[in-house]
Amino acid sequence: MATEPRKDIIEAFGRQGPRYAEVAMCCAKREDEARATAHKYFRWSLTGWPVQAELPNPKGFAAASKHIAPEAVAGKISCGPSAERHLQAIRKFTEAGFDHIVVVQIGPDQDYFFDLFKHELAAALRG
């Protein structure tokens, strides 16, 4: 299971068995809204594993990530209404060799994500 589209992870552990990846995205009607949501709920993800492993509670995560800008989060997380942008984020993982993709919608607007997935993402991912 990985959260970065790195081929070296696949190579290090071999190509036998399923290769899972988690792709976080923030689907929303407006890109600026998605960026703000991703920043609010997921900015801690940019701190990296060595930092995250040492944080004892939500206050620690908040303190460690308080200086991370919304633009930095949007540089790592696909944000907005564009299905193609989200598909590009997913393709980075499949091109790296991951064959099981877990898609995670950031924030409370799960209905928008499910609609986008149903009407645009699912068919593109099957093809």
List residues bridging with 25 in a β-sheet: 78, 105
Q: What is the pLDDT tens value at each position of the chain, 127 positions in all?
A: 899 999 999 999 877 889 999 999 999 999 999 999 999 999 999 998 788 888 889 899 889 999 999 999 999 999 999 999 999 999 999 999 999 999 999 999 999 999 999 999 999 988 6
pLDDT at 127: 67
Q: What is the DSSP letter of 44?
A: G
pTM: 0.88
State the Cα–Cα distance between residues 93 and 109, nearest whole angstrom.
24
Structure tokens at 73: 């989060």
Domain borders along the chain are 7-119
**Alpha carbon 12 to its chain's center:** 22
